[in-house]
Structure 1
């Protein structure tokens, strides 16, 4: 086992392991069209990292249509988006892994670091299976058990618990503002993966292509494994 402060790694899924946010955005764009709400660049930029309900509320707010639907109707719309998204998930393959991710996962395994998937998506197990990463991620947070979505810390607290580690001894890898907020509130050391600065992260890499164990440890000011 590693002897440094860092004892485990917690991964977001969309935008960190796989390029599947494009599919959620495509699904939401279809929903917006059905609701006769214009799809904008601003929506495409702000939705990643949001919960399904939060995404719908944001889309409705963009057209000043908050309060138009009751809870049951909102649930029906978000279920419809999930059905659309599942069609994309069914077509996913290992080719959807982001560049550099596989080599990084292999480095972590070789170094003895345990890993958990900190995704609030109920589709996460199916996506990991389609990506053929099940052997890496034997610990996946049960999204249905979470009381609150990101930016609440619930998913990262649950992921650290799966590894029987304190969150302060875990590195979280995130690509969105809400994800960074979630991980930091949980107490994790947080590495942002994004071209644009994500406030609050302990370190930042511009792309998954930059991921390596030495690079992450250096960025966090930790000793080499």
Structure 2
């Protein structure tokens, strides 16, 4: 097992609780499209791309193919506009429990960090969360050819740190995110109360994050 040299973070559900805002935006879109919002949609959308989310919502009502690609783009742009209204209201209070102390711990220990988010809004969110001094390396989402579960975002994040992905620990809270990190070759820590298959280790919530806890969970107490 490679020595751990860097840490890569998903944003939604790992650093901040901003998935609630995407879900609120998508719920509004579903209402506009006269598609019933379901518990299943709320469970499966986190981690999906914007287009994937729209396709999933349409499929839930058997309306695949109801819109042209141009119309789909208009709808996803509308969702993004709704989401940006929520982002504008974000503050450091949106950081998840335990995250601030853990990030400071990693920086104090000298580890380089990168944000591996496929969201084009990530830089704005990090600024609103007042974490720009921590995340100096943010993957430019527009440069990615494929969304999670493809490995692109984690490969790009590792490159920002000039490290091989195999020397990095990735933190994820969704199945698609874990798949993305593992396909890139990262040691992957799932943060979720429910089991996420494929992860190298799992913690129940961000409140459990600490450097000793993560290293122990990965079987690297002396890394």
TM-score w.r.t. the length of structure 2 is 0.99
Pair 1:212 & 2:214 matched:
no
Deviation at 1:81, TM superposition (A): 0.1
Pick from 78, 81, 103 the counterpart of residue 79 of structure 2.
81
Gaps of 5+ in 2: none
Pick from 137, 158, 183 the counterpart of residue 185 of structure 1.
183
CA–CA distance in structure 1, aligned partners of residues 211 and 172 of structure 2? 16
CA–CA distance in structure 2, aligned partners of residues 55 and 45 of structure 1? 11
Pick from 21, 39, 42 the counterpart of residue 40 of structure 2.
42
Deviation at 1:66, TM superposition (A): 0.1
Structure 1 runs of 4+ aligned residues shifted over 4 Å read none
Deviation at 1:156, TM superposition (A): 0.1
Cross-structure match for 2:160: 162
The alignment covers a number of residue pairs equal to: 222
Deviation at 1:224, TM superposition (A): 3.1
CA–CA distance in structure 2, aligned partners of residues 198 and 49 of structure 1? 13
Cross-structure match for 1:125: 123
User: What SS class does the counterpart of residue 90 from structure 2 fall into?
Assistant: coil
CA–CA distance in structure 1, aligned partners of residues 82 and 131 of structure 2? 23
More deviation in 4-13 or 176-185?
Answer: 4-13
CA–CA distance in structure 2, aligned partners of residues 66 and 223 of structure 1? 49
TM-score w.r.t. the length of structure 1 is 0.98
User: What SS class does the counterpart of residue 190 from structure 1 fall into?
Assistant: strand
Cross-structure match for 1:99: 97
Pick from 45, 49, 52 the counterpart of residue 50 of structure 2.
52
